[in-house]
Chains A and B, each alone.
Chain A
Amino acid sequence: MDYVHLRRQAASLRKGLFDQGYLDEQFYQLEDLQDDASPNFVEEVVTLFFRDSARLMANIDQALDKCVKDFNKLDVYMQQLKGSCTSIGASRMKTECTAFRECCRDENIEGCMRSFQKIKREHSVLRQKLESYFQLLRQAGPVECATRPNK
């Protein structure tokens, strides 16, 4: 029952992520790919994502700090980040990345910085939520995968 409760919590957390727009359909794809052969696929990908995105964001931070205003470079970084976000379905982050790129196009450095702050916030929120989610799943029992019914 405890497990049931935990699972319910996990499910509700997950639903919340979708409802609030943190995640989109792409995340379903990830979940779909999880199976017996890769039982922790989703978590692995998400972990990978956060690690890689942290790296990218550090690069962007650095670039912004230098105030060189190399918009091309910023755009390239952001494109990469956006690509990652798209791949896992990090919807809000993706939107913010797009906004950032637009600022780059407009060569609006302040806009870029503001946008980037938002991205960082979104990133950290998403990370927290997903970490909680996975933790719940783990606690809820190894039997059940994130969304799959019992096999």
Chain B
Amino acid sequence: MRVQEGINSMAGADQFPIGMRVLAVDDDPVCLKLLENLLLRCQYHVTTTNQAVEALKLLRENKDRFDLVISDVIMPDMDGFKLLELVGLEMDLPVIMLSGNGGTENVMKGITHGACDYLLKPVRLEELKNIWQHVVRRKFRHRERNTNLSTEDPEFDKLPNSNPSHAQGQHGQNSSSDNSGRYSKKRKDQNEPEEEDGEDNGYDNEEPDPSAQKKPRVVWSVELHRKFVAAVNQLGIDKAVPKRILELMNVEKLTRENVASHLQKYRLYLKRLSAVASQQASLAAAFGARDPSSYLRMGMFEGLQSYHPLASSSQIPSSLTSFQATGGPLLNRSNPATLGLPGLSPSLSNNSLSSNPLNELNKFQLVNLPGNSYHANLLHDQLPSELSFSNVTNNALLPQTSQDCMQPRQSAVAATSFHAKPITFENRCLTKAENQSLEIPSSSNDIFLGRDIKCQSSIFNEESKLLSFGGASQNNTKLQWRQDDLHESTLLLSSYLDSQLPNNSCNTMADPVTIAATGSGMVQGLNGGVFNQREGVATSGIIGSSISGLTAMTNHDSQLKQREEYNLGVQKVQGGYGSNGCSMDGLLNSVIKMERDDISYSDGDIGCDLYPLGACM
């Protein structure tokens, strides 16, 4: 039965939440009628249907027709969870589940499939009166992302100067300036199949090309970096002098100075990696039980936590600094396993990250996905192969106590944040946290990372689990790599999307992991470090590298390629960057390694669709 929508849908827009357009789906006519009336009482605009198939049809007809979907879990023609996934995936609308069964498992299932809320029958009016928050939350996230995108100059990279706007906790409360305008636009964008490009105002897709950059900077793309690293290795790290490197690289328009500065960063990066590596080893020892990977994971978190804004390195965008808190290897932190996720998640969740950008990290959960062959690769040797950052969405990190946690607890966010924009990590970030980080791209902070992340996620996820950067529905969007069953993917990056990353778009990877960065979030999680857009994410370097592989998937092929190369190059570096970066780096490295082998440049797909694999239909 379908009730015709009589009210002009536009009317509600101004008086939100009045007039919010809800689609209610329930096979039980009694419940449906009751629900309908309750919603009408809340002054929403209601459309009902008792068939999931019909609901999908309605939604597909016009993606912009509804603001919110409420659906029963048990329905004869389609499983409610499946509908949930589809809606989240295709339309990026908030979906609320309704059920008579409030068992923990079911609720969990709802959350992992992307529901932004789970209500028990009989539904009460008071509960329905608040459901509009989910719509707003999502829009804020989008808006932020949008804003970030727009306010940034072409370079994704967060230049310190350009970052301020972003850096300010845009979290959620975004500078409202263009919000409203963007708001609706954003929604539309969101609704459109974003897969292809970071839709958010084409932030990442369009990608500021180097020429649009403010300063002429060399973009240390993956390829470029790869060449660089190859040259360095050929010469021997000790003997590598810029001039010779330049000769070996044989790249036009690259100056000795470029190489020199890049080399300097690289050296620092290596140093940091080795420091991290050793630390990790010790941590691992300390932790005992878990396999190294778990430690690493933990370390990651820890490290992340301790990330403080990188103040020291000017180059590093603010975000990076966060990684680097102390500039020491991540492991330095009190928390041993920075890398390790599971264990740390709790700590992370507690905002251990002091640094602002890193706060998001808290949310990171590195989840070690077992079984992931990549694990090993990820961290190179030191880090556990699996690093999965699973970002716990919405609510504080759900501490993932153990590797088992891998499954993203991700809340709906993940699911819902499909559109995540490609995650952009600034290349810069890589470089350094304090000097340790290797600044990969000296010039552009292109979304290198962002894209990379995407790639990465795919890399991580062999099985293409869904990485959803989902920003949490809340403001702090987090990137969360959600994998339905992470097993494979080693790295779940749950980056906390916060306003930091301008566009964290999660690109859905063709295969594996689609990172959906939602909202402002940054894909901080990715690297374990925080990707602050602005701040050169130190880790991003790592991630970048790994991501490069991933980025292949992203839209900008060329850039991606470069990244990839970069990644590969970076791969060698182990450990993370300094504080944060290190662990991430390691991870990334490993990831990159993995990626290297099968980086699939699947374009198109990636468009940030984070999609839980499970959700994929």
Residues of A within 8 A of B (CB): 26, 29-30, 32-33, 37-38, 41, 44-45, 48-49, 52, 76, 79-80, 82-84, 86-89
Contact = CB atoms under 8 A, between A and B. Distances in A.
B276 to A, nearest CB: 53
20 contacts: A29-B34, A29-B124, A33-B34, A33-B37, A33-B125, A45-B30, A52-B29, A79-B100, A80-B27, A80-B28, A83-B100, A84-B30, A84-B31, A86-B122, A87-B28, A87-B31, A87-B121, A88-B30, A88-B34, A89-B122
Given A80-B27, A82-B100, 4 more contacts: A30-B34, A79-B101, A80-B74, A83-B28
B214 interface: no
5 closest pairs, A vs B, by CB? A83-B100, A84-B30, A33-B37, A49-B30, A87-B31
Contacts of B34: 29-30, 33, 45, 87-88
B33 interface: yes
A85 to B, nearest CB: 9
Contacts of A41: 37
Contacts of B27: 80
Contacts, number: 54
A94 B290 CA distance: 48
B60 interface: no
A33 B28 contact: no
B36 to A, nearest CB: 10
Given A41-B37, A80-B74, A32 B29 contact: no
B38 interface: yes
Nearest to B31: A87
Contacts of A52: 28-30
- Among A49, A82, A86, A88, the most chain B Cβ lie within 10 Å of the Cβ of A86
A80 B27 CA distance: 9
A87 B74 contact: no
B33 A44 contact: yes
Interface in B179-227: none
A82 B101 CA distance: 10
Interface in B26-46: 27-31, 33-34, 37-38, 40-41
A15 B571 CA distance: 75
Interface of B: 27-31, 33-34, 37-38, 40-41, 74, 100-101, 121-122, 124-125
Give the one of A45, A76, A80, A88 with max B CB within 10 A. Answer: A80
B120 to A, nearest CB: 9
A128 to B, nearest CB: 19
Contacts of B37: 33, 38, 41
Contacts of B121: 83, 86-87
Contacts of A80: 27-28, 74
A49 B74 CA distance: 18
Contacts of B125: 29, 32-33
A52 B125 CA distance: 23
Contacts of A44: 33
B200 to A, nearest CB: 40
A87 B100 CA distance: 9
Contacts of B29: 48, 52
Contacts of A88: 30, 34
B74 A29 contact: no
Contacts of A32: 125
B31 A33 contact: no
Given A29-B122, A79-B101, A80-B74, A87 B30 contact: yes
Contacts of A30: 34
B38 to A, nearest CB: 7
Contact of B33 (A45, A82, A83): A45
Contacts of B124: 29
B100 A86 contact: yes
A49 to B, nearest CB: 5
Contacts of A83: 28, 31, 100, 121
A69 to B, nearest CB: 21
